[in-house]
Structure 1
Amino acid sequence: MILNVRGNTCVAMKQGTDDLAALEEAFGLPQKFIDGLINEDDWSLIIKSHALLESACSGMLCHYFGKYELIDIFAHLDMSNKKYGKIAFISALKLLSKAERRFISELSELRNMLVHNASNVTFSLENYFSNATKEKQERYHSALNLRLKKISTKTEVIEGVNLLIKEPKSVIWSSLTQCLSSIYIQDIFSIKRNELISDALKKIKSARPIEIKKEDIPLTVGSKSFASLTRDGIKPAP
């Protein structure tokens, strides 16, 4: 999911990073798509939210490297593998906060649990979290709730772990929108940075030819010098 641009200008956010209509426009989504996720059944909320984040994260990595031909490669990477998945790149590059990365990983666990069995279409988040041990409820709440503090109704105020037990869809949807907002900000930053780098390189090239002197070439590859590489039987290309 490459950020929608008009010419060289990114679609502007209209009312801050939480404006859903602007996020939908920026990510090329149908109107009310994000807004409507909270009204989906539990199975659809998890599957669609995860798919949306997977696509947005692939796009974010392409924007970061400025290489949009990599989109298919990033799209096929596992989402939550911490050694070689998308989340590994995002963590190493510090593109999202630790809490946001943890949310994505926990959402991936839920998605993987649901996606391989058709009978899970009747899955209930409330039942799932209600039946978990107290320790697991605390862990789930810590991972999945990024910013929802409380929900007030006419009869009660729901807060803490009870938010996840009684209003799990609201918790997950709220955290999803925060992650999408953070991804959008990273996309904008990367696009602008790449534009500045491109402009700077054009100015340098137009000013005078670029000369690479012998002393500018590094004498080491990683922790080994060219001398040791040659001694070990590995010769640099001519």
Structure 2
Amino acid sequence: MTTTNPSVEALLESVGLSPTFLDDLLHDSDWSFVIKTHALFEAVLGSLIVRRLGAEAAADAIANLDFNNTRSGKVAFARALGLIDKEHVAFLRGLSELRNQLVHKVHNVTFTFANHIAGLTASDLKKFKTEFGYAICSLENGEKEYSATLSRSPKTIVLLAAYRCLLNLQFQITDRAKEILIELLRTRTESH
């Protein structure tokens, strides 16, 4: 898969990352993918909050905010500032919770999405879908695509949610444009 969206590339570069950062994540272990994706959103949210507030002097303080605190974290600030909507909040909170489960015990470095999905209860699967499935489920035949992708490549579901959130953060685009971009990215991911 190749990142061809200049806006995503510009956003990645604005926080000091290679424009191929997301593509490179596909080659990482699932554990590394989660940790790095979370780190990406930590940096991006902090940077965009500083920009939105026009408060460069507060950059260090904002960078050190908790990510997922529901009242005073970066996700809460981003939502309050209109940078993200409720679907992106669910994605970011889900990503943060998953990252926290993985990072605090060294034996979790062997984490795989396949094993993770296999161990989820029905209610946990529903939560996973709410947190990560919105990018695929919003497409035509999305429910079918979600189910197929969940069994074939659950990492792709999280990657597509990350892309959609990044696109939203970079610039406000219509829901239809988001669907077209996600479909394009899904197709390219599957051919990878």
What residue in structure 1 maps to residue 163 of structure 2? 177
Q: TM-score of the superposition, structure 1-length normalised?
A: 0.63
From 16, 22, 32, the counterpart of 1:34: 22
The answer for the alignment partner of 1:140 in structure 2 is 128
Secondary structure of the residue that 1:40 maps to in structure 2? coil
In 2, distance between residues paired with 1:145 and 1:183?
A: 18
Per the alignment, residue 167 of structure 1 pairs with: 153
Q: Deviations over 1:16-40 (max 9, x none)?
A: 8576544433443124212111221
Please say if residues 141 and 164 of structure 1, whose CA atoms lie closer than 8 Å, have aligned partners that are also in contact: no
Q: How many residues align?
A: 166
What's the CA shift for 1:182? 1.6
Looking at structure 1, the residues matched to 151 and 76 of structure 2 have their Cα atoms a distance apart, in angstroms, of 30
Moved over 4 A (4+): 15-20
* TM-score, normalised with respect to structure 2: 0.77
Query: Which residue number corresponds to residue 46 of structure 2?
Result: 58
Q: Which has the higher helix share?
A: 2
* Structure showing greater Rg: 1
| Matches of 2:118 and 2:6, distance apart in 1 | 30
Structure 2 spans left out of the alignment, 5+ residues: 139-143, 173-192
1:166 partner amino acid: R
Matching residue's letter, 2:97: E
After the TM superposition, which residues 1-238 of structure 1 pair with which residues of structure 2 at under 5 Å, given as runs? 20-149=8-137, 159-185=145-171
Contact 2:146–2:157 (8 Å) recurs in 1:
no
After alignment, is 70-79 or 164-173 more displaced? 164-173
Task: State whether residues 8 and 170 of structure 2, in contact with CA within 8 Å, keep that contact through their aligned partners in structure 1.
Answer: no
Report SS of the residue matched to 1:159. Answer: helix
Amino acid across the alignment from 1:168:
P
Q: From the superposition, tell whether residues 19 and 68 of structure 1 become closer, same or farther in structure 2 (CA, over 3 Å).
A: closer
Q: 1:184-221, CA deviations, whole angstroms, 9 ceiling, x for partnerless residues?
A: 227xxxxxxxxxxxxxxxxxxxxxxxxxxxxxxxxxxx
Unpaired runs of 5+ residues, structure 1, are: 1-14, 151-157, 187-238
Higher strand proportion: 1
Report % sequence identity.
33
Once the two structures are TM-superposed, the CA of residue 78 in structure 1 deviates from its matched residue by 0.8
- Distance, in Å, in 1 between the alignment partners of 2:136 and 2:6 is 14
Change (3 A) 1:173 1:122: same
